[in-house]
Chains A and B, each alone.
Chain A
């Protein structure tokens, strides 16, 4: 029986992190130079970690699959980053940010981690400003804030609708400085394909390196280090259509899982309420419209079924629906938070209206996000200044002008709260293997609040990992650098080459994308916004069949030992199918509704998520038991010491 130790420090909530830092072990400057750290990924978490570790004096090897670290998908985050600065004097505090995040996550996150996140949030804003991140400012020259879902204060810092871009470019510039100074070596267009474990003198297996494929040459290469940090993002592309980038994938996490790291809360996926609706079968991805739009946009559908039908048939325009015939359903159901309820709540409410026949667009799968009130109240210029680039983006995609007609939006997969299990030190169950950013499961519980992903990625990379990793590495200063000629590297590489040879030799009839699309349909239909015992059981049957289809009927053109995009996609898809299985299994186990996990059997009379704290107040962590074996469920009990759990209420 595996037992998990979260290593949460003792003491009052507000003193845990300080206490930890005061007592943790450190590595002196001379020894740092002798220690190597591999960081996989160059998004907010990966780039900030690699840069900070380099600044401290460690030798860092940093990998990304794109042609430059600056392409990582953190760049696409639009709306903003939260911090408890209370610059607006509206009652914000570290405790309130902590509380909102815990509540927003439906009480399924670890209190101590979330409190630490809120504590370091302010340092992030200071750091970014010092790097030259051009945050939006007031006329007096001080920083501006706006509101985001799930909060009653304005604590979100932003840079137009491109906050993720500006924060990532800040981290990228810090990283570039370390590359220039020689402390970080960059490997672009390299993809991690497996983790290498080596036993120490006491027989304990530790993470000591990775095998990666040079995507340009196709060559498989070996890299050794004293510790490995996974910052490879989330696994939302298991749904094929998502707001993730085309190359975002969950494979690094699955490689760690197969080597013994636990995968926690895989079922917790976030469905973002404001995305541009699906237009057709050849669609390759979904585009997000920032949550910040809900500051001024009002969400509605027609009140009358016949109006909705006329709109779907193209006989009525939204602007022709009279005010009294519009149902602003979020304002109606949640008067206290209105259009700014958290994402899971807003997404489900949209689904409820569409399921009831009130959906718009020719598909019936869309709702309106309307700015006419805002334009009347604030004037066109102000609305343009706030959201101009988002409106432009919408118009380029849909050919509709949102200044004149309401936007159409629909929920889409956006973020995965689940991920590799980590303790308070962000270390996985494998010694020397760390996971940061979206790749880990730690801070968002069952639902993430808007503008908190940027906060968590940078918190982990700038201010948490550079401390906690030293507590591990301090024991490793006597360990000499590893040779990549060790048998553990050779064996791992051999297994990989066999896997690639198997994939290439299937020579079936189906392209990677055609199978990936089928996976996406299974996931959306059965493991999507509303799940039931039956739908999840159906998903497991369908996924098993799809896995068989993949391994028997896939076709990959070209050769493996050269650039081969189809092979790259196939390796990722093999893992996405297994992630889908884990998600369904986890969803089936959790007989409650919480956050992004909505089991239709478990809801209150007015349709809200019904948690079961008696039975399910734990993180469900899955341990790999071998190919096609049922993984073992290991529970990390979530004991709420400081917060009293309640049903989440955004109504009053």
Chain B
């Protein structure tokens, strides 16, 4: 059994997209270190509901670090202080007794707040819709082993494809740039022979969409890479830039 701690939780509360938000502070006693961060919020919400108050709205679903639905800016870090995990995998053993934990939503012009800690990330879907795919229909494709792909290439594509689309990179970036997200998809598909055919048009279309949706520019601060729960590397941004440049030059 892990130690138990008493904590203060300072949470951003905001009724709706246009409402004015503010911090509220709550107290929680005897939280076990084995409790996950979101379970701690569940406990807090149970207390609020038992007092007839509205619970804190926050996105979550799989609670095992893969769906990308959970977010939260905890003590100044997207997905909290621990590295290479999402908020749902964060456990209370990382916090000290008596600590005040500050919880905010992702802050980005492209991700408006819906309520409290819940934000609208549909902009990410729109970027993928602009070209984040290989244009093949169902059926009529060659046998899976027709084109051998060197293992290191496949592995690098897999690393890029690990992106869970959570938006931590945008929340971490002082410019609110989505370059790490865009580059992960562009890089995955540019590496594989199946995706190479459209790699130039894809890079151009996705960057144009990213710009149109109000995401900022990349100034290589690397904050995105540091905060990415899946360790997606900014080397993919370099590949994205090369693909984008090739597309420009071939115009």
Contacts and interface: CB of A to CB of B under 8 A. Distances in A.
Interface residues of A, number: 82
Contacts of B250: none
Interface in A47-85: 48, 51-52, 55, 66-73, 75-76, 85
Indicate the size class of the contact surface on chain B: 35 or more
Nearest to A557: B54
Contact of B61 (A130, A172, A245, A287): A245
A499 B55 CA distance: 22
Contact of B192 (A132, A139, A514, A566): A132
Given A68-B165, A166-B161, A135 B64 contact: no
A180 B151 CA distance: 32
A90 B151 CA distance: 22
Given A75-B62, A134-B157, A143-B144, A283 B39 contact: yes
7 contacts: A55-B137, A69-B125, A71-B62, A131-B134, A177-B135, A180-B129, A566-B49
B66 A75 contact: yes
Contact of A246 (B60, B65, B188, B195): B60
Nearest to A389: B162
B68 interface: yes
Interface stretch (A375-383, A390-398, A573-581): A390-398
A343 B54 CA distance: 41
A131 B67 contact: no
A142 interface: yes
Nearest to B127: A176
A376 to B, nearest CB: 25
A87 B145 CA distance: 9
A173 B43 contact: no
A490 interface: no
B211 interface: no
Nearest to A248: B61
Interface stretch (A100-108, A120-128, A468-476, A632-640): A120-128
Contacts of B67: 66, 70-73, 75-76, 245
Interface stretch (B113-121, B169-177, B235-243): B113-121
Interface in B12-27: 16
Contacts of A288: 64
A180 B130 contact: yes
Contact of A280 (B35, B59, B61): B35
A642 interface: no
Q: What are the 7 tightest A-B residue pairs by CB atom distance, in nearest-first order?
A: A141-B148, A173-B133, A130-B141, A134-B158, A134-B157, A129-B144, A52-B138
Contacts of B46: 511, 513-514
Interface stretch (A24-32, A157-165, A347-355, A409-417): A157-165
Given A126-B141, A127-B141, A174 B133 contact: yes
Contact of B69 (A71, A129, A285, A557): A71
A280 B32 contact: yes
Contact of A127 (B65, B89, B139, B189): B139
A393 B65 CA distance: 9
Contacts of B157: 132, 134
B162 A186 contact: no
Interface in B165-219: 165, 188-189, 192, 194-195
Contact of A73 (B35, B61, B134): B61
B10 interface: no
B150 A173 contact: no
Contacts of A142: 145, 148
A317 interface: no
A288 B62 CA distance: 11
Contacts of A71: 61-62, 67-69
A407 to B, nearest CB: 15
Contacts of B48: 557
Given A75-B67, A165-B66, A399-B93, A66 B114 contact: no
A247 B124 contact: no
In the complex, which of the residues A76, A138, A164, A169 has the most CB atoms of chain B within 10 Å of its own CB atom?
A169
Given A67-B122, A176-B133, A140 B148 contact: yes
Interface string A332-376: 000000000000000000000000000000100000000000000
Contacts of A506: none
Contact of B145 (A134, A136, A143, A565): A143
Interface string A459-481: 00011001000000000000000
Interface string B64-77: 11111100000000
A504 to B, nearest CB: 13
Interface of A: 48, 51-52, 55, 66-73, 75-76, 85, 87, 123, 125-132, 134-143, 159-160, 162, 164-166, 169, 172-174, 176-177, 179-180, 186, 188, 216, 245-247, 279-280, 282-285, 287-288, 362, 392-393, 396-397, 399, 462-463, 466, 511, 513-514, 555, 557-558, 562-563, 565-566
A134 B122 contact: no
Point out which of B52, B53, B63 has the most chain A C-beta atoms below 10 A from its C-beta. B63
Given A134-B158, A279-B32, 8 more contacts: A68-B68, A73-B61, A173-B133, A216-B114, A280-B35, A284-B39, A284-B42, A563-B114
Contacts of B114: 216, 563
B50 A511 contact: yes
B151 A137 contact: yes
Contacts of A139: 151
Nearest to B40: A282
A179 B133 CA distance: 12
For B48, B138, B154, the residue with the greatest tally of chain A CB atoms inside 10 Å of its CB is: B138
A135 B34 contact: no
Contacts of B134: 130-132, 173
A140 B54 CA distance: 58
A282 B61 contact: no
Nearest to A282: B39
Contact of B84 (A73, A128, A159, A392): A392
Given A68-B121, A73-B62, A166-B161, A132 B195 contact: yes
Nearest to B46: A511
A215 to B, nearest CB: 9
A80 to B, nearest CB: 14
A299 B55 CA distance: 42
A173 B68 contact: no
B69 A67 contact: yes
A25 to B, nearest CB: 19
Contact of B62 (A174, A245, A279): A245
Contacts of B1: 362
Nearest to A125: B144
Max chain B CB contacts within 10 Å: which of A160, A245, A392, A393?
A: A245
Most chain B beta-carbon contacts within 10 A, residue among A137, A179, A399: A137
Contacts of B132: 173, 176
Given A132-B134, A186-B125, A565-B57, A169 B161 contact: yes
Q: With a 10 A CB-CB cut-off, give which of A67, A282, A463 has the most chain B CB atoms.
A: A67
A9 B223 CA distance: 59
Contacts of A566: 49, 55
A137 B154 contact: yes
